[in-house]
Chain A
Amino acid sequence: MAVVTDEPKAGFRLGMLIYDTRYRSITIQIVVLILVMAGVAWLVDNLLRNLAVLGRGIDFSFLGNRSGYDINQTLVEYTNDSTHARATLVGLLNTLLVAFLGCIAATVVGVLAGVLRLSKNWVIARLMTVYVEVFRNIPLLLWILIIFAVFTEALPAPNAFRGENPAASMVLFDTVAFTNRYTAIPWLIFDNSMGWLTLGSVYLNIDLVLIVAALVGGFFANRAILRRAKRIQEATGERPTTWWQSILALFGPISAVFLFLGTHVDAPALQGFNFTGGLQVSNSLVALWLALTLYTAAFIAEIVRAGINAVSKGQSEAAFALGLRPGRTMSLVILPQALRVIIPPLISQYLNLTKNSSLAIAVGYMDLRGTLGGITLNQTGRGLEAMMLLMLIYLVISLIISGTMNIYNNSVRLKER
């Protein structure tokens, strides 16, 4: 910024608001503020006048009314007698479910594809390049529609699995059946299920809570063990053997919980014309999940490739010169530096995936957009309220994801003096 060196002699003149750099920024800000406020006032005024013409106000009480429609896939108890708020919750959970599954699968596929694209193997590297370019340059909606069409058109009906010489067969050692209506997968059955815990209007599945607690506890116990090992190594130079402790910490609690709940695996089996047992996942979820995964993974692959390329060769050479083994070179030298480049764009890919899951309407998966922004909106005619709520929820999800990931990003950031 240009700096005024000699103080003007005369006092304040009106022209100085524009020509004096000391006041100009204030002038600009006030003008901008006035313009924005005028714009907002105009919009709000129009809104109020329009609502007055229509004879109604902004009212969220429709959320408490009976919804009256069914949802084919729900994570929590829901009937068409439930309220619109409950339907919204079901939609939100469905959105979160597909986003969560998609993020995990996309990360795995994306990292694999990114690493393989750098492989010296000519065939694999070319194959991955083709995959990435094809998926990145074609709209996601097309992938969702194509994969859904594969599921509904190309797959056999459940009754094709019948008979001595069935036209179709189950895959993965006869545990998973892809049919044109649903995908039947094995699922866990708890003999000593703990049932539901009711806290006011919130229902909690105690089994699920126990499992999550065991997983989280194991994860933190493992971290404590590794931290202790590191402390001992820094103090004495000897690293204690931790692998059996880690295994115990990670898998002990969850095994105990499963044992306690009397868990056994229930595989889907054909009975009559349909599969029973196991879990029947609707094809809209599977297709949406696969499409989101493959599409986002192509972007993640590029991010991973760029991240690995960004670590200079000298780093690995220096690590080898210090006598580090290849595995430790990767985990102690290359990855921490590559992750620093990878994580910020990875976060925005997770956000994109979550937002893209709103394309679920294309395959009829009842996510937040399908319940609150779809049927609820059409039934109640409360477009304004429903859309505001919808946007608010998406905004909060986005902010939460980016907030958590930023905390993680800060922890791996280069600590500069």
Chain B
Amino acid sequence: MKATSAPFVRREMLAPAAPPITEAGAVKWLRENLFSSPLNVILTVLGVGAVVYLVSHIAPWMLRGVWNAGSLSECRQIIEARYGEGVTGACWALIRERWPQYLFGFYPSELYWRPVLAFVLMLVAIAPVLFDALPRKMLWFALVYPAIGFWLLWGGSVWVPVMALAGFGVGYGAAKIVQPIAGAILGGIAAVLAPVLWWLFLSGPAAETLQSVLPIALQEVRSREFGGFILAFTIGFTGIAFSLPLGVLLALGRQSDMFIVNKLSVGFIEFIRGVPLITLLFTASLLLNYFLPPGTDFDIILRVIIMVVLFAAAYIAEVVRGGLAALPRGQYEAADALGLDYIKAQRLIIMPQALKISIPGIVSTFIGLFKDTTLVVFVGLLDPLKGITDAVRASTDWKGVYWEPYIFVGAIFFIICFGMSRYSMYLENKLKTDHR
């Protein structure tokens, strides 16, 4: 049998039809993301309206800004000459003229290289702590940095910070000597006790002696001359560096079975968390003299730093306690089963996991601490936000400037704090070990 005509057989696939116009491309995205329901339409319109309103009111004012002027009235004249009568605009010239004051406060201007150098070295010091791709040897610099930073910022004899650092060497030496004779625990005690004794009684005279033999010194800068962002950075970063270890200790104390240690930690944490930072700062500036031997007077920045450290440490203790509580009991039991003692178990098993869980909380505490450095204005220090701005506004040239300094300082705080929170997300991602 022979077919007269072959039946139709399709030999190749049809090209797929294009989707309907409402189901593809930008239209689909708009329909799904902006106009999926009546409520969403209203929200979209309101949202876009709000953005347009804000931008149309603020952007022209910012764009009309003047960067070159000597005073606010000159700014206004330039803007009116350029855009017509009654038009207002930003006066960025203020930032341009006064930015050294915003960065350094009343730090002597011929010494600006010192805080700048200290800042650059600080970046070098914290880099290996933040990114573990960098060589580990750099950590040694991070350990020495506090002394260098102190010397560069405040100046004075080089031997004071060197002798303070030497305390750690003293501790190490004491441990090395005592440990073979009396065992690990007494060695540990000696390693704590010897440096304390050194700092209390020996390091001062030693520094003086060395200074008279070999005088190396920078010009001294008093704390009252600090201001602006170097003040915020000094307080913020010292606070961060010291509050973490203290916070971890407090958290361990609060988790401890030992009754007295536990109750002392709880009392301290709850007290600090129950009062505003401002009252603590006031205590530091007004009342601390009552509690020190008559006649002592120590540095206002140091007092503020101590209070800020105590404050942040109490918050960090609670965050770390949350991390400790979140660890499954099996981890503690496994550490015991391996025969690890308390310190080894904490160092090798508990803390790495607990701190990893607590990273977001710790970093947001740090961000809070850095933002709180602005409160030092209430104890008479010149913070960048209110202290310096008020000082700038007190001059006749810049009387009546309101928004520009706030926008400038706010932007810098935003960049730093936002950067910290992004870093915490990066760290969380990097340390994530679950496979979900």
Question: A-side interface residues toward B, CB under 8 Å?
Answer: 1-2, 18-19, 25, 28-29, 32-33, 36, 43, 46-47, 49-51, 53, 116, 119-124, 127, 133-134, 136-142, 145-146, 149, 153, 351, 355-356, 358-359, 361-362, 369, 373, 383-384, 387, 390-391, 394-395, 398-399
Contact = CB atoms under 8 A, between A and B. Distances in A.
Interface stretch (B117-125, B199-207, B215-223, B289-297): B289-297
B326 to A, nearest CB: 13
A116 to B, nearest CB: 8
Given A50-B291, A361-B378, 13 more contacts: A2-B341, A116-B43, A119-B40, A119-B43, A122-B34, A123-B48, A124-B44, A137-B367, A149-B402, A149-B406, A351-B274, A387-B286, A398-B275
6 contacts: A46-B294, A49-B293, A51-B290, A127-B47, A146-B403, A383-B286
Contact of A1 (B293, B294, B336, B414): B336
B271 interface: yes
A394 B232 CA distance: 26
The dominant DSSP class at the B interface is helix
Interface string B362-385: 000001000110110110000001
Interface in B42-82: 43-44, 47-48, 50-51
Given A29-B259, A138-B417, A395 B271 contact: yes
Nearest to B186: A18
Nearest to A359: B278
Interface of B: 32-34, 36, 40, 43-44, 47-48, 50-51, 183, 185-186, 257-261, 264, 270-271, 273-279, 282-283, 286-287, 289-294, 336, 339, 341-342, 367, 371-372, 374-375, 377-378, 385-386, 402-403, 406, 409-410, 413-414, 417-418, 421
B47 A384 contact: no
B247 to A, nearest CB: 16
Nearest to B420: A137
Contacts of A355: 275-277
Given A46-B293, A46-B294, A25 B186 contact: no
Given A384-B287, A387-B286, A1 B276 contact: no
A141 B339 CA distance: 51
Contacts of A362: 386
A240 B377 CA distance: 61
B201 to A, nearest CB: 16
B371 A358 contact: no
Contact of A138 (B47, B260, B273, B413): B413
A25 B410 contact: no
A360 B211 CA distance: 48
A395 B274 CA distance: 5
A137 B339 contact: no
B264 A36 contact: yes
B410 A138 contact: yes
Contacts of A142: 374, 385, 406, 409-410, 413
B385 A145 contact: yes
Nearest to B50: A127
Contacts of B48: 123
